[in-house]
Amino acid sequence: MDGYAEGAGELAGVLQALADPARLRLLSMIAASDGGEGCVCDLVEPLGLSQPTVSHHLKGLLDAGLVSRDKRGVWAWFRLVPGAPDGVAELLSAADGSPADP
């Protein structure tokens, strides 16, 4: 697979993860939380979704490289991957062949 096809595949995965409103809310909630991390146990109620559904959405964000996970006891804690938004901008600019804005 050439570099362009790999980049396009990676970009498609990231955009698919970002295409869901619940996932966008999760990213926003994690970014705004104390310490920049959020526990699944604290994210369920504000979203109004079940714990398995929230975990499923967080797995999509994890697979896309947008969040990292730290298991503590029975709960998983998530934080944004440093530079992930910049990486999305770079993938978008690479897809159309233009350089990313600084």
User: pTM for the whole thing?
Assistant: 0.76
Structural domains counted in the chain: 1
Q: What is the pLDDT of residues 39-49, one digit of tens each?
A: 999 999 999 99
Long-range contacts of 8-14 (CB under 8 A, 24+ apart): 8/95, 10/91, 11/91, 11/92, 11/94, 11/95, 13/63, 13/64, 14/64, 14/65, 14/66, 14/87, 14/88, 14/91
CATH number at residue 61: 1.10.10.10
pLDDT of residue 59: 95
* 94 is a domain residue: no
Task: Give the bridge partners for 67, in sequence order.
Answer: 80
- pLDDT grade, residue 13 (50/70/90)? confident
* 89 is a domain residue: no
* 30 is a domain residue: yes
Enclosing domain of residue 40: 9-80
